A and B are shown apart, each in its own frame.
Chain A
Amino acid sequence: MPSADTNAIASDLKLMTAIRSADQTAMAVLYDRYSSIVYSVALRVLRDTGAAEDVLQDIFMQLWRNPGAFDASRGNISAWLAVIARNRAIDALRRRRPENDIEDVVVSVEHDLVSEADRSRAMDRVRGALQVMPAPQRSALEMAYFEGLSHSEIAGKTGEPLGTIKTRIRAGLLALRKVLAA
């Protein structure tokens, strides 16, 4: 009997296949499944519901126009959408043209994120890791990720040397990986 994960993967792949065949109902199902991920990432970055809705609309329209942009071999769809949402929201925040096409984004996640329960478990661990992370480390990581600041901008904002910012960001990422691998 196939597991819940296998069913979820098969279901996502089936949806994407249907969307490639211009099935509008499949697009609605995909939206219902993943719109809250895209919206909440965009809202976290932009802190504006209208702007977050625009990012949401933009991403799902691009996926509709170019469903081949998501290649299952390039990663899990929820992680892929989260990264695209973050990138698009940062572009909107910084009022710049999108730097990457959605099909250029490759995300390699070595954790099960297929079912909602898997995602919830992984998120609890990441949130736990963020809570125990030294405040300057977490702050540097969040400024870079959710505000889209370059390391030199973070250094300018915090008054810390560039090298310190680099080291903190990397240490923060390694701490995340460690807690996920545990």
Chain B
Amino acid sequence: MSSDQTRDDPITERRLGRGDFLKLGALTAGTGILAACGADDAPEPSGAGGTTGAAEPAEEHPPIEQEQGNLEVFEWAGYEYPAYGGEDGVLKPYIDQRGKPKFTFLTSDDQALGRVRAGYRPDIVHPCVDYTGNWVEMGVVQPWDTSLLTNFADLEEPLVTGGQIDGQQYFIPADWGFSSPLYRSDHVEPDGEESWALFYDDRYEGKISWWDSPLENFVIWGYVNGIEDPWEMTDEQLDEARDFLMSKKHLCRNFWSSQTDLDADIAAGNIWIAYAWAGSYVAARDAGLDVVYSEPKEGRLGWNCGFVLGAETENFRHAHEFVDIWSSVESAEWIINNYAYGHANTSVDLAKVPEDYVSVFHLDNPEARQEPNAHYARPVTTERRAAYAQRWDEVKAA
């Protein structure tokens, strides 16, 4: 490979040297052979699109009393006991019976993937659905036995199907929500129709905060510029987006990575416009600020997170009990009322939920969070993710 090529296209060219092609070929062939050998003894998957489909019958796992019970959950901050549900809340029944799980904290899907890749082995992880493929690909997770989850039938159908790979339920959907521009309406007046382009509005120099995440800022640029699939942009499109973001980054006060810091900055008046989740809307509203959770014409972004099960867990049944409690209607009511996020359990009585949550987050209207009204995060291959990430790092370093 010539150095000229390297300069033209650092990512792809570097990745696919001749040697790499050979290795890739060998690997593919190897996998094929393995798959062929394994096909005879592997249990038949319950068919593509099948609803439950466990990896292996539950009988193979010892009864719960024989398990170690030292459940370890790799969670987002705010979802641990007692923050989630309160001292006597949602998680209490599990804790009374099985003891308090050990919670460790992840700060992003990529970081979580990296830590597990580096050898960390929790029993349960709480990633988002668009990363399920990456977890399965890495071979560190196993499918859930949905027959052990009493609340499984109450979970929303499209979200459940979204968590299946080859007919296996690798991912149990739990929380979902939007990502959209949040702005202080006492200082900000959008120019015309509501749009993500508010992030690039020169009038608000020094008052904007983008989320520090490798993908989203490119995806937003993609939707603003009418790119057909912003989750799968070409290197040329990414380069163009990178140059644009570099030229606009001076408008930002910071790139936020901690929601508590962002909420404090919005309240303190350091930030007027930000990429935000529902939690920031609630924090600002509770602080008595005039804020709008925008409905951009390009559509909000959406996310759905849930649980994957460690491939080597020695707490198979504990993990199922824990996730079953998480999937309960009590859990759903709590998360909606306290964080204003949605929950996969659809049997919630919306009359018990603050009115503005229902209207702002369309809790009563599943269509509002489907294409083309909103865009759920889509799976991105590890290789493409790296292409986005590399350019985002360049934007930040420039």
Answer whether A and B are interacting partners: no
Interface residues of B (CB under 8 A from A): none
Interface residues of A (CB under 8 A from B): none
